[in-house]
Amino acid sequence: MNRAGRYARWAAIALVIVGSLFPFLWMLSVSLKRQVDIFGGPSLPKQPTLSNYTALFTQYHFGAYLVNSILIVGASVLASLLIGTPAAYALARFRLPRGLNGQALFAALLVRMVPPILLVVPFYIILAKFGLLNTRLGLILLYTGINTSFVIWIMQSFLAEIPTDIEDAALVDGDSRLSALRRIILPLASSGLAATAIFAVITTYNDFLIALTMTSTPAAQTVPVGISTLIGKIQVEWGPMAAGGIIGALPILIFAFIVQRHFVRGMTLGAVK
């Protein structure tokens, strides 16, 4: 490429990055402004303040939202890994009768692909039936199920990449299937497991619709729902809302950066590697 072309390309890339990141910086700037400055037109914060952040915790229950989010995300991701990984292993290593492997994988994919809006009405009816509305347990159960399908699908593709020879050697040496799985396969699949776990954490932490419909008080509401409560019908708490947005975005951006290499795979359900 000639010199002008190279400059043009870097200019285009710079423009894209600004377009991509500026909205975040605008939110950060609003979150650091005093109430009077928010209405003062676009400018940097004149006297940067953390008062919006402290208000989140003293007035708007963000401590409770964070605790709920962490407990719900942690429990449901852990449970789905424990349930999904063995199933993924079975699908990657054994040929089941009647082409069941393909069907099972397709079923797992289907659950993941159905937009959550389609599931909320039945979910609501079921949780209401068992008295689990507005409880952490109710949300943990729903997310565990949704994540399990994802774990099966992604872990299956990671496990299928591990050569069978290694496992065969262990079996010849007298290991049972289970101990070969524990001693040989899981350590080899650990980076895949970590990536899968982080994807599950991201999607669960980010979910809004299910948490919104199944909860009604800070006893079980999660961070995204908490952010939306700052948007009243009449008045919007701009400063705290921006600060809440930052709190909602920051952990996820950090996580996403860590698993960047695997990101396409997670986001495309393993279809693209």
Partner 1 sequence: MAVTTAPVRPSEPGRRPDAGRRAGLDRALPWLLLLPAAITLGLVSVYPIYAGVHASLTTYLYGRPVAGAGLKNYTDTWHDPVFWQAMEVTLKFVLIAVTVETVLGLGLALLVANVVRGARWIRMSILAPMTVAPVVVGVIWRLIYESETGFVNPMFTSLGLGAPNVLSHEGSAFFGLVLVDVWEWTPLLFLICLAGLQSIPQEPLEAAAVDGAGPVRLFFNHTLPLLLPVLAVGVVLRLIDAVGTFDQIFVLTRGGPGTATQLISIYAYNTAFNFTDYGHGAAMLIALLAFAFLLVLVALSLMRRAAKRVAQ
Give the footprint of partner 1 on residues 208-247 (CB under 8 A).
Answer: 208-209, 212-213, 223-224, 227-228, 231, 236, 238, 241-242, 244-245
**Residue 54 in contact with partner 1, rule: CB under 8 A:** no
- Cβ(91)–Cβ(105) below 8 Å: yes
Contacts of 231 by beta carbon, 8 Å cutoff, 6+ apart: 237, 241
Per CB under 8 A, the list member of 64, 75, 116, 184 interacting with partner 1 is 116
CA distances 89 to 58, 93, 151, 152, 182, Å, are: 47, 6, 11, 8, 11
Sign for the pseudo-dihedral over CA of 253, 254, 257, 263: negative
Beta bridge partners of 27: none
Per CB under 8 A, the list member of 108, 132, 139, 197 interacting with partner 1 is 108
**Residue 179 in contact with partner 1, rule: CB under 8 A:** no
* Phi, psi (rounded to 5 degrees) for 217: -135, 165
CA distances 252 to 4, 16, 77, 94, 150, Å, are: 38, 21, 15, 36, 18
User: In the numeric block, which tokens belong to residue 148?
Assistant: 């399990």
Per CB under 8 A, the list member of 177, 184, 186, 188 interacting with partner 1 is 177
Task: Give the integer Cα–Cα distance in Å for 160 and 170.
Answer: 17
**Residue 44 in contact with partner 1, rule: CB under 8 A:** no
Ranges within 139-168 binding partner 1 (CB under 8 A): 141-142, 144-146, 148-149, 152, 157, 160, 164, 168
**Residue 111 in contact with partner 1, rule: CB under 8 A:** yes
End-to-end Cα, the chain, rounded Å: 29
**Residue 263 in contact with partner 1, rule: CB under 8 A:** yes
**Residue 135, SS3 per DSSP:** coil
Stretches 48-56, 96-104, 130-138, 184-192: which one binds partner 1 (CB under 8 A)? 96-104
The residue among 47 and 272 lying less far from partner 1, judged by its C-beta, is 272
- Cβ(24)–Cβ(249) below 8 Å: yes
Per CB under 8 A, the list member of 56, 73, 91, 200 interacting with partner 1 is 91
The residue among 47 and 178 lying less far from partner 1, judged by its C-beta, is 178
Ranges within 12-31 binding partner 1 (CB under 8 A): 12-13, 16-17, 19-21, 23-24, 26-27, 30
DSSP designation for 60: S
**Residue 205 in contact with partner 1, rule: CB under 8 A:** yes
The residue among 57 and 255 lying less far from partner 1, judged by its C-beta, is 255
Least distance between partner 1 and beta carbon 45 (Å): 13
